[in-house]
Amino acid sequence: MQNNLVLLTGNAHPELARKISEKIGVPLGKMSVFKFANDETFCKIQDNIRKRDVFVIQPTCRPVNDNLMELLIIIDACKRASAKSITAVVPYYGYSRTDKKDQPRVPITAKLVADLLTVAGANRLVTIDLHAEAIQGFFNIPVDALYVMPIFIKYIKTKIGLDNLVMVSPDAGGAARARTYAKKLGENVDIAVVDKRRIGNTGASEVINVVGEVAGKKCILVDDIIDTAGSITQAADVLKKRDAKEIWAMAAHAVLSPPALERLEKSPINEVVVSDTIPIPAEQKLNKITVLSVSELLAETIRRLYYGESVSVLFA
């Protein structure tokens, strides 16, 4: 297909990279990435990438620091090999929740990661469902912040249906997201918000109230990340107590830190719909977890960027 387009991937999510490669019709570039005995990461690109447009596919998911360092080293290798352009395709942007100083003497690690990527040599970032939109402003290079929303909306329309449907935010901060989903789905889709407060730095929270009518409704809890699943399962418990008919949970990024699986399994949530921005091991794929792929979205984004076409149509 494109002689000057190069796709590279580290060890974070080779399965997603292979899917993207197949959809674009460009084989993954040959590259060795490994650790020495002293735990230092090394990479060697086998193909000539001089004056070529390189896309490095690497979510910075668990193990976050290893995958981030690997990404930086690959980008540096591309820069020193005289690549024409280097686009970091980071479906899941690690450290995105450390995006502001909300306490004294704490870092803004999302900004630090942006600086590291830029210094390493990235000319552009492609990512999906940033935890905070303001992270785009941490970069002095172009950022294409995509959304899984079109993928999830298609699933809702074909598998769940729009009748008697309510989009629910598990917290006040995500109300705008739930409202956008409802708007895209049609005027008959309502919204509700679970009001909660967080407890310290533990990630724990407690539910205070539900704003909106959920009794007898099909409720879809929508969020950007499911980490320990505390917030979303607490919200589901409250919806069930408020006589919700059926409950779904949807989130772009399935981090699934313990005890997420146990919480989701025991929760009244009928189905958990996530994307494959983060690899989900076979042992974590509960029967109630459905994984939708972002490979087509990313493949089309890469194709459009390579040909200099607009990517705004992908936000529709």
Residues 129 and 18 in one domain: yes
What is the reported pLDDT for 315?
76
Instruction: Categorize the per-residue pLDDT at 3 as very low, low, confident or very high, splitting at 50, 70 and 90.
Output: confident
Output the pLDDT for position 256.
97
Catalytic residue among 196, 245, 266, 285: 196
Query: Are 280 and 301 within one domain?
Result: no
- Quick one: pLDDT at residue 6? 98
Instruction: Answer yes or no: do 127 and 260 share one domain.
Output: no
Residue 206 and residue 255 share a domain: yes
Q: Which residues contact 236 (CB under 8 A, 6 or more apart)?
A: 221, 247, 249, 267, 268, 269
- For residues 315 and 52, the model is more confident at 52
* Phi, psi for 154 (deg, rounded to 5): -60, -40
Q: For residues 274 and 264, is the Cβ–Cβ distance under 8 A?
A: no
Which helix (H) or strand (E) covers residue 108, if one does? none
Residue 173 has pLDDT above 90, yes or no: no
String of DSSP letters for 14-40: HHHHHHHHHHHT-PBPPEEEEE-TTS-
Identify the CATH number of the domain in which residue 55 sits: 3.40.50.2020
Question: Can you give the three-state secondary structure of 123-181, one letter per residue?
Answer: CEEEEECCCCHHHHHHCCCCEEEECCHHHHHHHHHHHHCCCCEEEEECCHHHHHHHHHH
- The Cα–Cα gap between 262 and 74 comes to 36
- In this structure, are 280 and 306 located in the same domain? no
Sheet holding 271-275, edge to edge: 204-211, 190-199, 165-169, 218-226, 246-254, 271-275, 289-292
Q: In this predicted structure, what is the pLDDT of residue 206?
A: 65
Backbone angles phi, psi at 208, to 5 degrees: -105, -45
Q: pLDDT tens for residues 203-262?
A: 555 656 899 999 999 999 999 999 999 999 999 999 999 999 999 999 999 999 999 999
Query: What is the percent of the chain with per-residue pLDDT over 70, rounded to a whole number?
Result: 95
CA distances from 19 to 5, 15, 32, 201 (A): 16, 6, 19, 37
Amino acid at 106: V
What are the angstrom distances between the C-alpha of 5 and each of 58, 85, 313?
17, 10, 22
pLDDT for 94-135, tens place per residue?
999 999 998 999 999 999 999 999 999 999 999 999 999 999
Indicate if 208 and 304 belong to the same structural domain.
Answer: no
pLDDT in tens, 11-28: 999 999 999 999 999 999
Tokens, residue 30:
């040959």
Which residues constitute the domain of residue 255? 149-292
Q: Taking 50 as the threshold, does the pLDDT of residue 56 lie above it?
A: yes
Judgement on whether residues 205 and 238 belong to the same structural domain of the protein: yes
Residue 196 catalytic? yes
Q: Tell whether 91 and 57 lie within a shared domain.
A: yes
Q: 304 and 248 in one domain?
A: no
Based on the fold, state whether residues 216 and 133 are members of the same structural domain: no
User: pLDDT value at position 1?
Assistant: 47
Task: Write down the pLDDT at residue 198.
Answer: 62
Q: How would you classify residue 212: left for phi > 0, otherwise alpha for psi between -120 and 50, otherwise beta?
A: left
CA distances from 48 to 57, 61, 210 (A): 18, 29, 57
**Which pLDDT value is given to residue 187?**
87
Number of domains in the chain: 2
- The per-residue pLDDT for 172 is 85
Claim to verify: residue 108 and residue 236 sit in the same structural domain: no
User: Are 284 and 300 contained in the same domain?
Assistant: no
